[in-house]
Structure 1
Amino acid sequence: MGFVYILRCADGTYYVGSTVDLARRLDAHNTGMGSAYTRRRLPVELAWAQEFARIDEAFAWEKRIQGWSHGKREAFMAGGIDAVIGWSKRGSAPPSP
């Protein structure tokens, strides 16, 4: 089992990660024992998470979401994958109709 998650940092940025133990990883981030990125942006809060049957699936989604813009991440959290279908890989807005 694995999780991919998005944290909202105190400065309004997002951090994307994956783990096999979500509660432990969130605690690590908030106590400054997570990544260097979140350590400089405390406190952080869980904005979104998804459980997967296997950690490699969660890791693949982590890498996919890490390449997305701030706006695309927000649209995804609000509306799921359907909300971002059609966005370019580096696009910051949905395509025009």
Structure 2
Amino acid sequence: MERRFFVYILASDRMGTLYVGVTSNLVRRTWQHREHVVDGFTARYGVTKLVYFEIHATAEAAIHREKRLKHWPRDWKLNLIERDNPTWNDLFDPIASF
């Protein structure tokens, strides 16, 4: 089975606080954020809505992309989200049903 890695963006709400992360299990990691399993930024600021993700073939590629996105200006991140998810729908339910 081919391993995949994900770079993702969570938001507190439309145009709200953003969080950029990387994981090899997007469903599990998003659930952890939603349920506040780990204390930290996302729990403190209510950042639980999966609004963007992309798939990478290697951990190195995903980590490199995550680091780049974290340094992007906020407007660039907003444009990236709105390009693929203009209504800021929570993408968790669609991916959790796979």
Please give the root-mean-square deviation of Cα atoms over the aligned residues, in Å.
Answer: 1.9
Query: Equivalents in 2 of 1:3, 1:35: separation in Å?
Result: 21
The residue number in structure 2 matching 1:9 is 12
Larger-gyration structure (1/2): 1
The residue number in structure 1 matching 2:30 is 26
Stretches of structure 1 that go unaligned for 5 or more consecutive residues are 81-97
Stretches of structure 2 that go unaligned for 5 or more consecutive residues are 85-98
- The percentage of aligned residue pairs carrying the same residue is 30
| Aligned residue-pair number | 80
Greater RCO, 1 or 2 (C-alpha within 8 Å, sep 6+): 2
The residue number in structure 1 matching 2:67 is 63
Q: CA deviation at 1:69?
A: 1.9
- 2:18·2:47 contact (CA, 8 Å) conserved in 1? no
Once structures 1 and 2 are overlaid, which stretch shifts more, 38-47 or 21-30? 38-47
More helix by share: 2
Query: How high is the TM-score relative to the length of structure 1?
Result: 0.73
